[in-house]
Amino acid sequence: MNIVPEKIIVLGMNTDKILIYNYNQTEVRIIDKNAYEKLEGTGDISCVEIAKNLKVIVAGYNKGWIILWEISSRKSLKIIQDLYTT
């Protein structure tokens, strides 16, 4: 995968997907938490941030979860649950 940091768009969707596009708005990668891992109870994605090394994305979910995703494998590297309750 060839991603240039200044030329990407990362979107966290309320469908539990993280979409990564290049500057031409061509889809480069989709991270779908339900396609690779059955993670229930996270809620919708409320924020995303891509690491400077372009290898991981951190996603915050509205039910107090934070998940660190590896972009290439689309799998979670670390999960923090229940940071707060709504």
CATH number, domain of 62, equals 2.40.10
Q: How confident is the model at residue 5 (pLDDT cuts 50, 70, 90)?
A: low
Instruction: Tell me how many domains the chain contains.
Output: 1
Say if 86 falls within a structural domain.
no
- Residue 74: both structure tokens together: 């689309």
Residue with tokens 């938490």, as numbered in its chain: 33
Q: How far apart are CA 18 and CA 72, in angstroms?
A: 13
Q: Domain limits at 31? A: 5-80
| pLDDT tens profile 34-72 | 665 667 778 788 899 988 888 899 999 888 889 999 988
Instruction: Write a three-state SS string for 34-84.
Output: HHHCCCCCCCCEEEEEECCCCCEEEEEECCCCEEEEECCCCEEEEEECCCC
Q: Is the pTM of this model over 0.85?
A: no
